[in-house]
Structure 1
Amino acid sequence: MDYQKYKRVLGIVLDSVGTGAAADAAQYGDLGADTLGHVGVAYHGQLHLPNLARLGISNLRDQPILGIAPAKAPLGYQGKMAEISAGKDSMDGHWEMMGLPVKQPLATFPQGFPAEIIRKLEEFSGRQVIVNRPYSGTDVIHDYGEQQMDTGALIVYTSGDSVMQIAAHEDVIPLAELYRICQYARTLLNGPDNIVGRVIARPYIGPDKDHFTRTANRRDFSLEPTGETAIDKLHQAGWDTIAIGKTNDIFSGRGFGQAFHNENNMDGMDHVDEVMGQDFTGFCFTNLVDFDAMYGHRRDPIGFGQALMDFDQRLGTVLDQLHDDDLLVITADHGNDPGFTGTDHTRENVPLLVYSPSMQGHGTLGTRATFADFGATVLENFNLPAGRYGSSFLSQLQ
């Protein structure tokens, strides 16, 4: 098979690293959200991101990140992407990137899940359900974790997104049992009136409420993609498709020939390094979730910034390892502004940083009309027809 321009495309999604309120942010109650901007302010201009800076992380913004000057001659191309999906969840963002925007809002449950669903979950599991309302994931195990340990109940909660989350202590409910319960819950939430994007297993450990911590054994049980994605097309055409992190779960494993589970961001970057050492031809799609799960939802801008600096250091290794026929795309799936109100995702544009060592120039890609431009570009690179959504920017890369 012949590829048009790049042999390997490496996509890295910095989960929740938004770059300013989207045009429709007011519809989501997110006017003024700016994840990167507010992290920079929290660091009083001392945020140190040399590799992201030379890729143009401040160039793509109307106002540079505090302390990170725009690069005079940035590596490659930079821009932003706007979302057209009806939500602001990871599933929406990743599906849209791969050409399948979620056009109809998925179900949310601000009052908790219906009694009939809870009844069926209790009957299937043989366990009581407690909480059943929107809650912060760390707060809910602090407030109810000891009760869960004492009773063996299931902590069921949700958020502003279309998710059911089920938390249980690993010593009380074994992982295999928790996953089986979540798989059953997935069958209850496939529609037509209660279509939920993801059921998330949220295991935790620790002796008491002041020492509970969520573990890396989280698992997402996503809605099966409702149409063909760029991943499907690549896989069907015989190109290599590799998932790192929760990307595999988000697409229900569909279309990926190889998958790696991440323990954390640094483990994810270890997998990126491992994959870069492989001789493959196709697409590697990585998600780094710590920005979101550890710091965004917890409204911790200092931890968020440290995670960005840790990633930036590892990014230097990636840049050094890139081949001339590699294309690196760094972006995000939504915002989760740690300087904003509440604990939910924020409707923001996302960065688009694109680089290959073979590039002769640099420039702007503007604000793309949809995240699907990413997938359209990957498809064109591998000589595959575009889908309904997205416009490739491959020809702009010189």
Structure 2
Amino acid sequence: MSRIVILVIDGLGVGAMPDAADPRPGDAAADTLGHLLDEHRTATGRRLPLPALEALGLGFVHPHPDLAPAPSLPVAVGRAALGYPGADTYAGHQTMMGADFSRVTVARLAGHLGEVAAALRASGRRADLLAGRPVLVVGGRVLVHDNLEADPGVNWNVSGLLADNPFTEILDIARVVRSVAPVARVIAVGGRADGPLDTFVRDGDLGTVGLDTPASGFYRNGGLVVRHLGAPLDHARRLPELASGAGAPVTLVGKAADVLACDTALCCPAVGTAEVLGVTADAVRRAPDTALIVSNVQETDLAGHQQDAPRYAAVLRRTDAGLGTLLRLLSSPGDRLIVTGDHGNDPVIGHAHHTREYVPVLIHRPEATGFDRLPMARTLADVGATAAAALGLPPAALGNGTPLLRPVGGSAGVPR
């Protein structure tokens, strides 16, 4: 039996990587988890209770006076470097699934306005500059702009008000932009804002210009709809396709359903943390003896973008409660619950961007005794390779990654 659940807590970093200061010098001090715990104690006078994460070894990976120093469950624990430039959800998930994302094209929209506008006009749409700035207004209502929340030039967004446009139109515009965009990801975003979108356009880092999405109200007003359109990938060498091709059913939950976009998987998009974890638990209950489930808790990342430490803490507590349910369900030998992150998003760092941090790797193994310390993962691809090995799949069939654990009966050289 090998029911494998990879739960990505979006934006859960455990300390700055050596190159974290490259885009912003202050990011050398980034520590999403540590700052979150400190802020909670300062605000409430109490520790933030995270019993499931502590039992899984979070305090061993990130020593902190408010976390238990050692796990109490049979786990293997460690940290992972990101293995891709910048700090980006799409690149993080693709890397984790085995895609070689060590090189992504970084480009500001300003350098490609002509070709993007030409493609939009060829699709029958009007595309104009916004008051002479490097932002395109499509049909007088939808904005095409630099993403200000990721590292500069990694992603572009196509944003529109759902009151003015059906999301299908926003998505169609994004697909046209994707057809000519050199960047890793074009993100279609529809939502409800506190006013006209052009009033929330801001200058970003390194010459970027775009919508200040957190300030617009999209994240707090409800009804947010997002679709991630990634650069072309070799899907045959990613974990979901590899597992599905071997006969294991694959379920993608939450943001993972959007960013991984696997045709052979059951996709269950959702944003709310309770829904994401409930759907994940239901998928485990329905799973046969061998299955892969990849799930993403997105609201931690949204709280980081809003620089809202109390909200981040509340979401992390809800996540912890959901982990308790998953641990009870994944109790058979061979089952694996792998808890990790895709980047950092420090809510007190002073800006609304992702932060380039190490992430935890916490692997629950019901048949083990005690816990093992994992080697430092050089890339998130090692997490996917570890899951592949647990499923009995050849990790070498992935585009990238080396297992951190050998499966039961595996060869020597890495911890069991």
In which range does the TM-score fall when normalised by the shorter chain?
0.7 to 0.9
State, as a whole percentage, how many aligned pairs show the same letter: 27
- Give distance in 2, aligned partners of 1:72 and 1:257: 33
Match of 1:264 among 230, 250, 272: 272
Q: Is the 8 A contact 2:248 2:291 kept in 1?
A: yes
Once the two structures are overlaid, the 10-residue window that deviates more, 161-170 or 349-358, is 161-170
Q: Is the 8 A contact 2:161 2:190 kept in 1?
A: yes
Q: Which residue of 1 aligns with 2:156?
A: 164
Match of 1:197 among 184, 194, 207: 184
Q: Which residue of 1 aligns with 2:98?
A: 99
Deviation at 1:76, TM superposition (A): 1.3
Q: Does residue 1:348 correspond to 2:357, yes or no?
A: yes
- Give distance in 2, aligned partners of 1:177 and 1:234: 34
Q: Which residue of 2 aligns with 1:393?
A: 404
- Give distance in 1, aligned partners of 2:73 and 2:324: 15
Q: Which residue of 2 aligns with 1:79?
A: 78
Q: Which residue of 2 aligns with 1:37?
A: 34
Q: Is the 8 A contact 1:241 1:258 kept in 2?
A: yes
The 1:129–1:81 alpha-carbon spacing in structure 2 relative to 1, beyond 3 Å, is farther
The 1:391–1:276 alpha-carbon spacing in structure 2 relative to 1, beyond 3 Å, is same
For structure 2, the 5+ residue unaligned runs are 197-215, 407-413
- Give distance in 2, aligned partners of 1:237 and 1:38: 42
Structure-1-length-normalised TM-score: 0.85
Q: Is the 8 A contact 1:300 1:338 kept in 2?
A: yes
Deviation at 1:114, TM superposition (A): 2.3
The 1:318–1:110 alpha-carbon spacing in structure 2 relative to 1, beyond 3 Å, is same
- Give distance in 1, aligned partners of 2:68 and 2:336: 25
Give the residue type in structure 1 aligned to 2:274: M
Deviation at 1:375, TM superposition (A): 1.6
The 1:299–1:122 alpha-carbon spacing in structure 2 relative to 1, beyond 3 Å, is farther
Deviation at 1:307, TM superposition (A): 0.8
1:277 is paired with a residue whose SS is helix
Give the residue type in structure 1 aligned to 2:35: H
Deviation at 1:18, TM superposition (A): 0.7
The 1:207–1:394 alpha-carbon spacing in structure 2 relative to 1, beyond 3 Å, is closer
Partner deviation per Cα, 1:210-258 (whole Å, 9 max, x = no partner): 866363321111223246212222222222221112223323325x421
Q: Is the 8 A contact 1:130 1:155 kept in 2?
A: no
Match of 2:225 among 201, 206, 217: 217
What pairs up with 1:151-300 in 2 under 5 angstroms? 151-154=140-143, 156-159=145-148, 160-161=151-152, 162-189=154-181, 195-205=182-192, 208=195, 213=221, 215-226=223-234, 228-254=237-263, 256-280=264-288, 281-292=290-301, 294-300=302-308
Give the residue type in structure 2 aligned to 1:27: D
Match of 2:19 among 24, 41, 52: 24
Once the two structures are overlaid, the 10-residue window that deviates more, 112-121 or 197-206, is 112-121
Q: Is the 8 A contact 1:222 1:252 kept in 2?
A: no
Q: Is the 8 A contact 1:203 1:214 kept in 2?
A: no
Q: Is the 8 A contact 1:130 1:154 kept in 2?
A: no
Q: What is the CA RMSD across the aligned residues, in angstroms?
A: 2.8
- Give distance in 2, aligned partners of 1:274 and 1:305: 25
Partner deviation per Cα, 1:314-373 (whole Å, 9 max, x = no partner): 211111222313210000111111121322111111010110322222121132222111
The 1:133–1:91 alpha-carbon spacing in structure 2 relative to 1, beyond 3 Å, is farther
Aligned residues: 373
- Give distance in 1, aligned partners of 2:72 and 2:173: 52
- Give distance in 1, aligned partners of 2:177 and 2:270: 24
Deviation at 1:36, TM superposition (A): 0.5
